[in-house]
Structure 1
Amino acid sequence: MIHVDNLSCGYKNKKILKNVSFQGESGDIICILGPNGSGKSTLIKTIVGLLEPIEGKVCIEGENIKDWSFNRRSKNISYIPQTFSSTFQYTGLDIVLMGRTSYLGFGSSPTEEDEKIALDAMKMLNILELKDKIYSNMSGGERQLVKIAQSIAQQAKIIVMDEPTNNLDFANQVIMLNYLKECAKKGMIIIMATHFPEQVLSFGTKTLLVKDGIVKVVEDPQKNLKDKDLKNLYGIDIRIVELSIENKTVKMCLPIY
């Protein structure tokens, strides 16, 4: 379990968000929605430890992670930023193996077991064909899937992603999100910022609505996320509509022009 308790975060004691509280349990997919500049990335960086909380705390299994070592934090939380690039000629397998760093001793190299874990992660995502491809030559979708495989190889309980579908075409968005659902089914907790409310309505177990320094938690968004929530969040008229497709109910968000 991850428990964010009365968290205030920002830069140099300037609060961007205040009094943020929520928790996630095994299998949760927590989606963070909010307009540009609302503080989604600030919240994510504070959760993963790149920013120190101004107030409050982030706990995993009841322990405040503030004083955890890098290795211990890495074994529990995997962070995938909006963009990741490399000037070195790393292969896909090299990038995935980086997820094993916290398990290695100083100056040691990945073992055969580490390589097996990395290859199994790539196999799980059906991207073994990328193991020898140079990362900088990959498409945006391929890079994101390789980074997800890195998180799986890291064997962290929590995957935190900052706008993972940004700059991906529609097909790659669907592929990536389906794999995230599989990760959640395996017991991981997914926390992700997104610009797409439909993703929340499709598979989110809860959503955090971020605006004007406040975070509102909506449990079970398929039932409880309303038109007025999105209108207040984005400042435009948005309707949530239901469609019946092959005996399944699908919810979509439509702006009113």
Structure 2
Amino acid sequence: MKLELRNVSCGYGAKTIVKDLSLLAVSGEVLCLLGPNGVGKTTLFKTILGFLKLQEGKILLDGEDVSRWPRKEFAKAVGYVPQAHTPPFPFTVLDVVTMGRTAHLGPFASPTKTDVAIAEESLERLGVGFLKERIYTEISGGERQMVLIARALTQRPKVLIMDEPTSNLDFGNQIRVLEQVNRLAKEGLCVIMTSHFPDHAFLCSAKVALLQRNVQFQIGTAEEVITEQNMLSAYGVRVKIGSLQGDDGIPVAACVPLISNCTCPQDPQKSAYTGQAAE
């Protein structure tokens, strides 16, 4: 599966937040969107998913314009993992994951035994099958994130869109989620995710799209895009890009902030630390 954006512009009403963006993501690849709050990462996701109307350009799946696709067919091809989710009722984990089969059901139809089996398979695939009888609202944040990924996998998508999949997770659970992201890509999924941590792109060996203010963007490998100058320009923070030796002998890149040398922009309109609401 190939997801392509051609000269895409998107935003809210007449206000454009992302302008003339073109990128390509393919099966077996992780594409990581980086950038400070307010540059349009979530806006772009909402547009790809059809929650916001595309202002200009085209969104293509395997060369076909998705604007012509029925929503049900699109939902079968593209899965979505939100930052957080709390259902209004205390569903079991298996019930929440089975909801991922909705796009495959007819009007007023109930999940079949096959649908439930697919949901159980998704939980086992992520190593959290033991949670299936637990109440979703009573499990930990890290477990919930795995359940949301399992729900998306239950759609049997070719493209998986993940909006800050490690947000609000402790360090251990962040790494566990990233390990699953890597594994899913190796199994053939096209994974597109946002993150506030440049190191996540290094850990996922990802292609990177760095969105900056004034509708600027750069696209390339993590090593090409995550540079000391680009991080200073995007976030107003000085960093040092280094390399560590992994257990397998393969070097692992790391982005280390130089806290004492932080040079945040003085103009509050340009600062990454203005406290403005997330997109």
1:215 Cα offset (Å): 4.7
Shift of the alpha carbon at 1:191?
0.6
1:211 and 2:212 are equivalent in the alignment: yes
Are 2:250 and 1:248 aligned? Answer: yes
- Residue correspondences, number: 257
CA distance in structure 2 between the aligned counterparts of 1:188 and 1:213, rounded to whole angstroms: 32
Which residue in the other structure is 1:6 paired with? 7
Distance of aligned partners of 1:215 and 1:191 in 2 relative to their CA distance in 1, 3 Å threshold: farther
Return the offset for 1:119: 0.6
Bigger Cα displacement from structure 2, 221-230 vs 54-63: 221-230
Q: TM-score, normalised by structure 1?
A: 0.96
Runs of 4+ in 1 over 6 A off after TM superposition: none
- Residue 223 of structure 1 and its aligned partner are, at CA, apart by 5.1
Which runs of structure 2 are paired with 1:126-205 in the superposition (5 Å)? 126-205=127-206
Same amino acid, percent of matched pairs: 38
Q: Which residue of 2 aligns with 1:58?
A: 59
Aligned-partner Cα distance in 2 for 1:97–1:215: 40
Q: CA RMSD in A?
A: 1.3
Which string of whole-angstrom CA distances, capped at 9 and with x for unpartnered residues, describes residues 169-210 of structure 1?
A: 111111111111111111111111100100111214311111
Displacement of 1:31 in angstroms is: 0.5
Equivalent residue number for residue 277 of structure 2: none
- Partner letter of residue 6 of structure 2? D
Q: 1:140 Cα shift?
A: 1.0
Paired residue type of 2:75: S
SS at the partner of 2:150? helix
Find the counterpart in structure 2 of residue 226 from structure 1: 227
1:154 counterpart SS class: coil
Conservation of the 8 A alpha-carbon contact between 1:22 and 1:217: no
Instruction: Return the alpha-carbon distance in structure 2 between the equivalents of residues 144 and 166 of structure 1.
Output: 9
Corresponding residue for 2:93?
92
Residues 112-135 of structure 1, C-alpha deviations (whole Å, 9 max, x = no match):
111111111101111111101111
> Which residue number corresponds to residue 239 of structure 1?
240
Alpha-carbon distance in 1 for matches of 2:40, 2:186 = 29
The aligned runs of 1:103-122 (5 Å cut-off) are 103-122=104-123
Letter in 2 for 1:179: Q
Q: Structure 2 regions of 5+ residues with no counterpart?
A: 261-279
TM-score by length of 2: 0.89
Q: Is 2:211–2:218's contact at 8 Å kept on the other side of the alignment?
A: no
Equivalent AA in structure 2 for residue 136 of structure 1: T
CA contact (8 A) 1:202 1:222 kept: no
Distance in 1 (CA, whole Å) between partners of 2:171 and 2:239 is 21
C-alpha separation in 2, matches of 1:167 and 1:144: 10
Q: CA deviation at 1:253?
A: 0.9
Q: Which runs of 5+ in 1 are unaligned?
A: none
How many angstroms apart in 2 are the aligned matches of 1:128 and 1:202?
Answer: 26
- How far 1:243 moved relative to its partner? 1.4
Amino acid at match of 1:250: V
Other structure's SS at 2:154 match:
helix
Q: C-alpha distance in 2, partners of 1:245/1:29?
A: 20
- Residue 106 of structure 2 corresponds to residue 124 of structure 1: no
- Structure 1 residues 21 and 215: alpha-carbon distance in aligned structure 2, compared to 1, 3 A threshold: farther
User: How far 1:18 moved relative to its partner?
Assistant: 0.1
Question: Residue 215 and residue 158 in structure 1: after superposition, are their counterparts in 2 closer, same or farther (change >3 A)?
Answer: farther
Deviation of residue 59 (structure 1)? 0.5
